[in-house]
Amino acid sequence: MRKKTIFYIGVFLVLLGVISCSKRDAFSERVKVSVRSIGHELLLNAHDMTSLVLPVKELNASRYQLSFQNNLEIHPDSLVSIVNRNFSTANFSTHYILEVKDCEHKEVVYSYEMQQKEENSIIPCRGRLLPTACYIIEIQFLQKQLATSQPWLLYGGLLVLLFIGLFVFLRSRNKKEVVAKTSEDMQTLGIFEFYPEQNKLVKQATEISLSKKECELLAIFITKPNEIVKREELTKKVWEDNGVFVGRSLDTYISKLRKKLKDDASIKITNIHGVGYKLEIN
């Protein structure tokens, strides 16, 4: 049971990883499309309808770079407006830092920080024109943006944990239900009710008589479901104070028990060669 549980946990963690990667890739591609649209609008705003927006680069998981084929002039007010409008259309949270760098020295010539509430944003130098030159624009999404834009990661993780918890609970409950005490004088075993004090099994109101030794053996097995019980332990507990033990006696009584339990395919007494027996409950 423990191995199966670990296997299922592993499977779902792998699936979660695959989903996470695919969602991460989808987010990245959506950002690139949005950033490219920003570049296109900046060129139109500079009255440039012929030069190209170069491929958007993903510098890391949260930082993207926008560059252009030719020089252009940038109006900070228009830049802020264009970026916010595109991110709003794409349902990205407007919480980021934007830097404009010159191509030659990679020095920041203009930057601002946009927060969820614009009154908390830091947007300097509005109204000042950045003259025509070669510029690179880098946009750094803050951690809050990534968490906000990907709630599926939290929900997916919680869903997987819930499934694992439910799976483990049901498995443990089912095992307990197969061999469980329902009263001081009765125990359930699959489809049977076992009455050790009365030396009998009951299946759907039909009584199945057990000899004293069959009853004693079954009582031992029930206390150790799915565990190997050594021959020495069985013979000592059942025959030590009850007369002479003949070598084949144990095997004979086990064979009788098997016949009386055969109506429930989920219950099986297995011979572990040279060691003992095991009551297997599936």
Pair 17, 133 in one domain: yes
Residue 43, domain member (yes or no): yes
Pair 7, 127 in one domain: yes
Pair 114, 241 in one domain: no
Report how many domains make up the chain: 2
Residue 254 phi, psi (nearest 5): -65, -40
What is the residue type of 49?
Answer: M
Low-confidence winner among 77-86, 175-184, 201-210, 273-282 (lowest mean pLDDT)? 175-184
pLDDT digits (tens, 9 = 90+) for 45-104: 989 989 999 999 999 988 999 999 999 999 999 999 999 999 988 888 778 999 999 999
Pair 91, 211 in one domain: no
Pair 139, 73 in one domain: yes
Q: Alpha carbon 146 to chain centroid distance?
A: 20
Residue 170, domain member (yes or no): no
pLDDT at 7: 53
pLDDT of 183 > 60? The answer is: no
Model confidence, pTM: 0.46
Give percent of the chain with pLDDT exceeding 70: 76
pLDDT at 147: 41
Residue 162, domain member (yes or no): no
Q: Of 151, 176, 195, which one is at a domain's C-terminal end?
A: 151
Pair 130, 202 in one domain: no
pLDDT at 148: 43
**Number of helices (H), then strands (E), in the chain:** 7, 15
Pair 77, 30 in one domain: yes
Task: Write the CATH number for 200.
Answer: 1.10.10.10
Q: Of 105, 128, 151, which one is at a domain's C-terminal end?
A: 151
pLDDT at 248: 77
Q: Which domain holds residue 8?
A: 2-151
Among residues 81, 133, 70, which one has the least CA distance to residue 107?
A: 133
Q: What share of the chain is helix, strand, coil (3-state, %, to 5)?
A: 45, 25, 25
What is the residue type of 139?
Answer: I
pLDDT digits (tens, 9 = 90+) for 117-160: 777 888 887 778 899 999 999 999 885 444 444 455 556 666 76
Pair 138, 238 in one domain: no
